[in-house]
Amino acid sequence: MAADRPVSDPWAVPDVPILARSAHDRIAHRRTDEGWVSAAWTDPGSRVLLVSPAGTVPVQPDGWSLRFVAPSEAAVEGVRVLLGAAGDAVYLALLATDEITGDVTGVAGCGWRGLRELATELTDLEVGLLTTAVALQAWHQTHRHCPRCGAQTEVTKAGWTRTCPVDASEHFPRTDPAVIMLVHDGAGRCVLARGPQWPAGRMSVLAGFVEAGESAEAAVAREVREEVGIEVCDVAYVASQPHPFPASLMLGYTARVAGDPRLVIDAEEIVEAGWYTREEVRRAANWGSEPAAEAGMPALRGLPGTMSIARQLINAWLLEDLEG
Ligand SMILES: [Zn+2]
């Protein structure tokens, strides 16, 4: 399975964003087939992914391959989910309600790791299964009651819906659209900025949630205006990837500044922002963990991680693919 692991080159522009990769069939038509799903949960050939309340999963001794267990080994309380099928194998997830202790048969002695750590190491099949399982774990944890009447809902459709026993309303896993955009000037510079949660020197492209009643393109223009005070044109879609931390879908765009490029920062959301050349952006990744107080260091000395669609947008722009 080594062939479909992503390349580790930090400047790579993958054909498909890291977390958007997938190689299983979701077999949605089976979710309502209760007999088939029950049989899958007793078939020793089924492969079960155990997901802890924190979203971590057991890994093999190599430290980065997912460790699936047989249904009989997955003896913990939790939400049972049909993830899908690939080849002859059926993949299930058990989204644990309580912390999993090391004495669970199938995972004794395993290391546990999370999607953020594993993403760039996993195969297409593994990352598609894990991203889905983590998204569903987060949703089930926070949507246990009916939003109409407050009653406790029941897990239905093999873990893909929750149904209210009082008013029969059906509730689906939430996915919140967010836009993330590389703003350039059409002349070799792009805008990078840092939010208050990021360490000094580490910057990324702008991003924000799509609001109710708003298109993604309008959200790009509004977020850029709000965060750095400039107008944009040529808003163009690039790619999307799920971001289940806890429930986003990141929609990647580029946009070109229209008119005055002077940045006026919204101090609530942005600590610093600037226009940077390709040379400055390439250099930023080489600083690594240099001490922050060193004199003469550039304002930009760190980039988002290679798992992120932000980094993919930046890398593609560095190759001059994304500047029209
Ligand atoms: Zn209800």
Q: Would you report the helix, strand and coil content of the chain in percent, each value rounded to 5?
A: 25, 30, 45
Mean pLDDT confidence for 172-187: 97
Question: Could you tell me the distance, in angstroms and rounded to a whole number, from the CA of residue 54 to the centre of ligand 1?
Answer: 27
55 close to 115: Cβ distance less than 8 angstroms: yes
CA of 94 to the centre of ligand 1 (A): 25
**Cα 166 to ligand 1 centroid, rounded to whole Å:** 5
Rounded to the nearest angstrom, the distance between the alpha carbon of 11 and the centre of ligand 1 is 49
Q: CA-CA distance, 71 to 92, in Å (whole number)?
A: 9
What is the 171 CA–ligand 1 centroid distance (Å)? Answer: 10
CA of 234 to the centre of ligand 1 (A): 45
List, for residues 246-283, the tens digit of each pLDDT value.
Answer: 999 999 999 999 999 999 999 999 999 999 999 999 99
Residue 292 has pLDDT above 60, yes or no: no
Ligand 1 center to 32 CA (angstroms): 21
Q: Is the pLDDT confidence value at 86 over 90?
A: yes
Q: What is the rounded CA–CA span in Å between residue 135 and residue 127?
A: 12
Write down the pLDDT at residue 295. 54
Taking alpha carbons only, the member of 226, 237, 297, 299 closest to residue 264 is 226
Which residues fall inside 5 Å of ion ligand 1, going by CB?
A: 146, 148-149, 151, 164, 166-167
Dump pLDDT digits (tens) for 94-127: 999 999 877 787 888 889 999 999 999 999 999 9
73-82, 165-174, 255-264, 283-292 — which is least confidently predicted? 283-292
pLDDT of residue 56: 96
**Listed residue (122, 119, 108) closest to 50, CA to CA:** 108
Calculate how far, in angstroms, residue 162's C-alpha sits from the geometric centre of ligand 1. Answer: 10
> How high is the pLDDT of residue 323?
62
Q: How confident is the model at residue 9 (pLDDT cuts 50, 70, 90)?
A: confident
Q: How confident is the model at residue 5 (pLDDT cuts 50, 70, 90)?
A: low
